[in-house]
């Protein structure tokens, strides 16, 4: 065996259809495109969403709503979650790095502390936003709030 007698495995290749090469080939005439109509002609491409003259989906379904491009998305973390973190690690300050390390958020997310649950430890809490009830609860136990 050498380079001059290599060939593909039996049945692994097929000869391509040579269409439009005369009626004797069996693939001449209409060249497998059927008779007349836009689809038989060169350069045809149907419009996106075209449904053969039927009212297309994007016109049947009404428009509604909008996406506010200025929306700021926060990841909510409740006071009871913060209290569990403090109980487990004995911290005096809880910040964004602590939330990332605990797996509550990823590094590019913003945090909002909400007032659900109770806080019993005096803490300094750092976050991007706070609810009024969370601020009241943190300050009630002698802690402080730091907005980033």
- State pTM to two decimals: 0.58
- Asked if the structure places residue 141 within a domain, the reply is yes
10 occurs within a structural domain: no
Residues 6+ apart with CB under 8 A from 116: 78, 79, 80
For the stretch 36-50, pLDDT in tens is 998 999 999 999 999
Tens of each residue's pLDDT in the chain, 148 residues: 899 999 999 999 999 999 999 999 999 999 999 999 989 999 999 999 999 899 999 999 999 999 999 999 999 999 999 999 999 988 889 999 999 999 999 999 999 999 999 999 999 999 999 999 999 999 999 999 999 8
CATH number, domain with residue 136: 3.100.10.10
**Domain limits for position 120:** 74-147
Say if CB 115 and CB 78 are below 8 A apart: yes
CA distance 96 to 108: 10
CA dihedral in degrees (23, 29, 35, 37; nearest 10)? 170
CB distance 79 to 113 below 8 Å? yes
Residue 103 lies inside a defined structural domain of this protein: yes
């Amino acid at each position: 065996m050498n380079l001059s007698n290599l060939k593909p495995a039996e049945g692994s290749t097929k000869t391509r259809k040579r269409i439009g090469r005369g009626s004797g080939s069996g693939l001449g005439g209409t060249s497998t495109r059927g008779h007349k109509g836009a689809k038989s002609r060169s350069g045809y491409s149907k419009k996106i969403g075209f449904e053969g003259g039927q009212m297309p989906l994007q016109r049947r379904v009404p428009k509604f709503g909008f996406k506010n491009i200025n929306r700021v998305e926060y990841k909510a973390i409740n006071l009871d979650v913060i209290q569990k973190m403090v109980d487990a690690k004995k911290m005096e300050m809880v910040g964004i790095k602590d939330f990332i390390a605990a797996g509550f958020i990823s590094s590019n997310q913003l945090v909002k502390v909400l007032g659900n649950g109770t806080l019993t430890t005096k803490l300094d809490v750092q976050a991007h936003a706070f609810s009024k009830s969370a601020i009241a609860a943190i300050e009630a136990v002698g802690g402080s709030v730091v907005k980033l």
